[in-house]
Amino acid sequence: MTDQMQPQTRGLSRRTILLRTVGCAAGAAVAFIPVRQAAAKMSEASVAYQDSPKGDQRCDGCSLFEAPNSCKIVDGTINPAGWCRFWTKKAG
C-alpha cells in the first residue's frame, strides 16, 4: 500500500487536550459567575419626593422603604414621613 491510500489519522497531543480542557473550564467558570450590577437609584426630583406624607401614604408604610432613612429606588436620605409617586403599600 502506498502512503496515499492509507487513511490519514490525526492524533491529539497531550498539550492540545490540556489546552482545550483548560479553555472549556475557563469558559464554563465565566458563564456561571453571577454578574451583579448595581442599579442606579433615581433622584428625589425625578420621583416627586417630598418630606411630608400624601394623605395616609408615608414612606415608612411603603414596601420600598428601608429603615431607618433610605429607599430601594430613591437616592439620598429619606424622611420616614415622606412620600413619592412610587409609594406602594407594604404587604401585611
Query: How do residues 40-69 score in pLDDT, each as one tens digit?
Result: 899 999 999 999 999 999 999 999 999 999
Asked if the structure places residue 91 within a domain, the reply is yes
Helix (H) or strand (E) holding 66: strand 65-66
> Rounded to an integer, what distance in angstroms lies between the CA atom of residue 45 and that of residue 76?
11
> Rounded to an integer, what distance in angstroms lies between the CA atom of residue 85 and that of residue 78?
14
Please tell me the predicted confidence (pLDDT) of residue 14: 87
Q: Report the domain count for the chain.
A: 1
Q: Could you list the residue range(s) of the whole structural domain that residue 51 is in? A: 40-92
- Which CATH number characterizes residue 89's domain? 4.10.490.10
Asked if the structure places residue 79 within a domain, the reply is yes
pTM summary value: 0.58
Asked if the structure places residue 6 within a domain, the reply is no
Q: Which tops the pLDDT comparison, 5 or 72?
A: 72
Q: Which are the contacts of 57, defined by CB distance < 8 A and separation ≥ 6? A: 83, 87, 89
Is the distance from CB of 49 to CB of 12 less than 8 angstroms? no
Asked if the structure places residue 70 within a domain, the reply is yes
Q: Which tops the pLDDT comparison, 61 or 35?
A: 61
